[in-house]
Chains A and B, each alone.
Chain A
């Protein structure tokens, strides 16, 4: 199935550092979503973006919907150990009513 390109694939960072990850697509989406998944659990919605250029924050998380509607990025500021997990982006198109997921970014935070 189709997947979005997400980078980096994995990253180790020190506690307190900022983290940035992005997601790119060859297709245009109406909505971009960012999720975090802990081992053995379902993904949890972090941020939803609905308009090109939109910048939205949720606590230490900030995400932007790219102007071209083909990309999005997620920033995590001042990372803490509980930020460890896998982060997935997802693009949604109302025409097909499908959510296409990114390949995931595995984040590990070193205390």
Chain B
């Protein structure tokens, strides 16, 4: 399967500061990248979908001004949590998707970033 990296793997920040998380597809060109949020013992909740070179599409209830997404290239997407608050503490996971041979759409996940806001 394809490899997706995510950096940092964990981060602790103070309330009111901003944090940037990077997601890279290492061995394929990702036409689309997704950002998910996962609370303990729960499933993944889609936050937004981003396509290279265009604005991200946010899911209902996700504040686009708080969670800034940039998809600058076919291998890199970033999520910036602005003015972070303790309730933003969570496990953030990115994924990348692109067509494999035969037109199949498979989604590969990064290892996740654990954000703790103090």
Residues of chain A touching chain B, judged by Cβ–Cβ distance below 8 Å, are: 1, 3, 31, 33, 35, 40-45, 48, 50, 88, 90, 92, 94, 97-104, 106
Let me know if B105 and A92 touch, CB within 8 A. Answer: yes
List residues of chain B with CB within 8 A of the CB of A97: 32, 49, 105
A42 and B106 contacting across the interface, CB-CB below 8 Å: no
* Nearest-CB residue, chain B, relative to A45: B1
**B112 and A88 within 8 A (CB):** no
Are B111 and A33 interface neighbours, CB within 8 A? no
**Is B6 an interface residue when CB atoms closer than 8 A count as contact?**
yes
Q: Are B112 and A42 in contact (CB under 8 A)?
A: yes
A92:B49 contact, CB within 8 angstroms: no
- B residues neighboring A (CB under 8 Å): 1, 4, 6, 32, 34, 41-46, 49, 59-61, 91, 93, 95, 97, 104-112, 114
Contacts A1-B45, A99-B46, A101-B44 known; A42 to B34 CB distance under 8 Å?
no
- Find chain A residues with CB under 8 A from B60 CB: 1
Interchain residue pairs with CB less than 8 A apart (23): A1-B60, A31-B104, A35-B109, A40-B91, A40-B112, A40-B114, A41-B111, A42-B6, A42-B112, A43-B44, A43-B93, A45-B108, A45-B109, A50-B104, A88-B43, A88-B44, A90-B107, A92-B105, A97-B32, A97-B49, A101-B45, A102-B43, A104-B42
Beta-carbon nearest neighbor of A43 in chain B? B109
Contact of B93 among A33, A42, A50, A98 (CB under 8 A): A42
Contacts of B59 in A (CB 8 A): 1
Chain A residues whose CB sits within 8 angstroms of the CB of B6 once the complex forms: 42
Contacts of B109 in A (CB 8 A): 35, 42-45
A1 lies within 8 A of B108 (CB): no
- 10 new A-B contacts, CB < 8 A, other than A1-B60, A31-B104, A97-B49, are A1-B45, A40-B112, A42-B6, A42-B93, A42-B109, A43-B109, A45-B106, A45-B108, A48-B106, A104-B42
Inter-chain CA distance A89–B61, complex, in Å, is 23
Contacts of A103 in B (CB 8 A): 43
